[in-house]
Structure 1
Amino acid sequence: MKEIVLYTQPVCPPCEITKMFLNENGYAYTIKDIKKDAAAHKELTRKYKSFSTPTVVIGDTVIRGFDLEKLRSAIGVK
């Protein structure tokens, strides 16, 4: 299984839905809160060229926003 990193921030309904999907399906993931962690914010914007949450990084795949189809595909489930 590839490492899953979720970039999130408080009061982000799509972030909560993404967490629910990952939790309900038993996937381990790392949360990086861009409001509490300046390094995570910098990494999100500079390395991944993303300015929105949620952003999910699975291996080399970057998913911006909540997209169930892309999440399932990147994780390898149908």
Structure 2
Amino acid sequence: MAVTVYSKPSCPQCDATKRQLTALGVPFAVVDVTQDAQAAELLRTAGFMQVPVVLADNDIWSGYRPDKIKQLAATAGANRREPATI
């Protein structure tokens, strides 16, 4: 499963999301939207107005969502591959 967290520095929700993904053993890539203007614009175009935005195969959400993270961890399993991009 490919997981990408679109994040920015000094973002408590971003940090909590990454911390919980790590604690649950879910591998993920991080894209800093303050350093990647194209990624930031793609998120805005898609209607996202806050970070973190988590992209995981067939699911995408914004904000700190412990429920979604736990669900993601439960389905992550052995079918893991390189992180996705928008």
TM bucket normalised to smaller: 0.7 to 0.9
Alignment RMSD (CA, Å): 1.6
Give yes or no for contact 2:8–2:51 (8 Å, CA) kept in 1. Answer: yes
> Helix, strand or coil for the counterpart of 2:74?
coil
- The structure showing larger relative contact order (alpha-carbon pairs under 8 Å, at least 6 residues apart) is 2
For 1:51 and 1:10, how far apart are their aligned partners in 2? 16
Give yes or no for contact 1:63–1:71 (8 Å, CA) kept in 2. Answer: no
For 2:24 and 2:69, how far apart are their aligned partners in 1? 12
**Number of positions where the alignment pairs a residue of Structure 1 with one of Structure 2:** 75
> Judging changes above 3 Å, is the alpha-carbon distance between structure 1 residues 25 and 76 closer, same or farther for their aligned structure 2 residues?
closer
Deviation at 1:72, TM superposition (A): 1.9
Uncovered stretches (5+) of structure 1, i.e. residues with no partner: none
Uncovered stretches (5+) of structure 2, i.e. residues with no partner: 76-86
Query: Where in structure 1 do 4 or more consecutive aligned residues deviate above 4 Å?
Result: none
